[in-house]
Amino acid sequence: MSQQIIYRILDANLDRAREAIRTIEEWCRFGLEDLDLCDRCKQMRQELAQWHREEFRRARNTPDDPATGLSHANEVSRADVQSVLRANMGRLQEALRVLEEYGKVVDPSFGAAMKQLRYQVYTLESQLLRYEATNIGQMRRQKLQAASLYLVTMPVDNIVSVVESALQGGVQIVQYRQKEGEDGTRLQLAQQLCDICHKYDALFLVNDRVDIAIAVGADGIHVGQTDLPVAAVRQILNANGGDASQYIIGQSTTNPQELAIALNNQVDYVGVGPVHATPTKPNKAAAGYEYVNYAAQNIQIPWFAIGGIDEHNLEEAIAAGAKRVAVVRALMKAEHPDRVAKQMRSLLK
């Protein structure tokens, strides 16, 4: 009797493992178009099939299996392809561990073979994670390249609804900037803003706070000249198995000297300003349109003119060479952020 139970366990987990690896293989084939990874998945599937003995199949008793109707809320839907891959990689590893342990009872060589397959899966997972980080980074930088209207938040009543209205009007990047307040409150608000940005397919960045950016799943971090050094930001992002390459990193600049530092830091974009005097940067003198013109002639990466720019003076910034702008009060203080954002996007086109 116990042998039949073990056979049923092996049968179920061989099926589970093969289904999981096939799901992963399909993404390697059609998503990544990686022949080597696809072939490795196929080889693992075929090896699993060779161990699927006929006596295991004959022991199958699906109608009397009490767990066939069990499910979990996380299995009902998947947020994206990455969640599909992670779920099936976990399922595959769990099934292989079960096969290794119960396989030892039937045939020690069975258990040993499953152990080796499990190690192969760990290596496969590492490669897929690197692919995932690279793909995420590429997609985020493509969005950055295409963006022209960037919103930097300031503390206002109903900040979430204000940001959502701006997103509805066409804002493509939102930076959450909050220098004061309790961390718990900032984390909660950052998560809300991040979720809304992703709902509208916009990038969400966090000013300076790398820890909050990681915690809420932000697309990147923005730092000023006196904030954390860019090298330190990357070091934190790379810690604990992270990958800084998937994150966008931007830096503020107010003159050609600071610009040279930012470019040497190999950031993904820079802020250029403040074009006009602004209460957001009370200790910074206006850089004026001369610096905007300098940026237009000397910067190859995306850059955003910032500082007192609104729908009324935007055309002046465009005339000076700006193709992308970042705004604060123009949208955060607007009566109808969606209308103002739409107008500014239209001018930038």
Give the up-direction half-sphere exposure of residue 191: CA atoms within 13 A in the CB hemisphere: 8
Q: Single out the residue of 227, 331, 213 nearest to residue 271, CA to CA.
A: 227
- Beta strands 325-327; 269-272: pairing state: unpaired
Is 284 among the catalytic positions? no
The token pair that represents 211 in the structure block = 């820890």
Nearest alpha-carbon partner for 223 in 261, 257, 250: 250
- Spot the catalytic one: 177, 186, 324, 342: 177
Q: Could you confirm whether 186 is annotated as catalytic? A: no
The torsion angles phi and psi of 307, rounded to 5 degrees, stand at: 115, 90
Half-sphere exposure of 292 (CA within 13 A, CB side): 26
The token pair at 219 is: 């697309």
Q: Which regions of the chain does DSSP assign to beta strands (E)?
A: 149-152, 173-176, 203-207, 220-223, 248-253, 269-272, 303-306, 325-327
Would you call 205 helix, strand, or coil by DSSP? Answer: strand
User: Which residues touch 186 (CB under 8 Å, ≥6 apart)?
Assistant: 178, 209, 212
Distance CA 41, CA 182 (A): 48
- In the set 8, 186, 209, 281, the catalytic residue is 281
Under a CB-based contact definition with an 8 Å cutoff, are residues 276 and 303 in contact? no
143 classed as catalytic = no
Q: Exactly one of 16, 234, 252, 342 is catalytic; which is it?
A: 252
**Residues labelled catalytic:** 177, 252, 281
